[in-house]
Amino acid sequence: MSNISSQSNIKSIAILGGTGDLGGGLARRWSRAGYKILIGSRTADKGKLAAEGLLQEFPELNVTGHENLEAASNADLVVLTVPFAHQISTLSTVKPALKGKILIDVTVPLIPPKVGTVQLPKSGSAAQAAQEFVGDEVAVVSAFQNVGAQHLNEDHDIVCDVLVTGDKRVARDTVIRLIEDLGLKGWHAGPLANSVATEALTSVLITINRHHKINGSGIVITGQSASN
């Protein structure tokens, strides 16, 4: 994974599954922060339609729509925002384009109808399954499992922190900088094995949302002094 360190200067981001709520919200915020966004979908037409929707709202943005492999091939960094059921099948179509890149995996192993119950895969976590599948020449970083998609799609400050796990410190550093560009606070949360906890937390938050009638609960890390 020797080329990963050169990926600290990210200018373009491919968002696979960018036609969905979470992927669309990330596309919306990163494009407005000045990044070139390539929205990927299973078909180029769906990707282009999503891009056109953003451009109608913000004509000055640098956003284009593509089929997933084309998007991944032409971006500096790739973000996977598809449902758990389509995680590995999507990765199988773009795997050649991921070599030497950072892959941000936001997948949560939610299994309907009991999405409020933690149901982790045999691999430990979805992110660990992704890393095993794509191999060591790709730096998988797990993030964004605990941010409500609706907040990313609205124009307001988001009171929610982002836990970032991954086995390469340089990759986590890069992702945390991208998170800060979204107006959020990112935290180093350890190796990819710790994504077991961050993915499981999503089901806990879903239960909190339902029980307390909250629209997109999140987490905030406390204890850091202002000087830190």
Structural domains of the chain, count: 1
The first and second tokens of residue 101, run together, are 């890149």
- Is position 176 within any domain? yes
Would you call 136 exposed, middle or buried from its count of C-beta atoms within 10 A (0-12, 13-18, 19+)?
Answer: exposed
Q: Strand 161-166 vs strand 139-142: parallel, antiparallel, or unpaired?
A: antiparallel
Backbone angles phi, psi at 188, to 5 degrees: -65, 120
Three-state DSSP at 2 gives coil
- Is position 220 within any domain? no
The first and second tokens of residue 126, run together, are 């979805």
From CA 37, how far away is CA 52, in angstroms rounded? 12
Q: Which domain holds residue 21?
A: 4-212
- Is position 228 within any domain? no
Q: What pLDDT score does 21 carry?
A: 87
From CA 13, how far away is CA 78, in angstroms rounded? 6
From CA 9, how far away is CA 13, in angstroms rounded? 11
Mind listing the pLDDT tens digit of every residue in the chain (228 residues)? Answer: 445 644 558 999 999 998 888 899 999 999 999 999 999 999 999 999 999 999 999 999 999 999 999 999 999 999 999 999 999 999 999 999 999 999 999 999 988 889 999 999 888 999 999 999 999 999 999 999 998 877 887 877 888 999 999 999 999 999 999 999 999 999 999 999 999 999 999 999 989 989 999 888 899 999 976 555
How far, CA to CA in Å, does 183 sit from each of 2, 113, 201? 30, 33, 22
- Is position 227 within any domain? no
What's the CATH code of the domain at 159? 3.40.50.720
88 touches 27 (CB < 8 A): no
pTM of the model: 0.93
Q: What pLDDT score does 228 carry?
A: 54
- Is position 222 within any domain? no
- Is position 31 within any domain? yes
- Is position 219 within any domain? no
- Is position 137 within any domain? yes
Helices 126-134/195-212 angle, 10° precision: 140
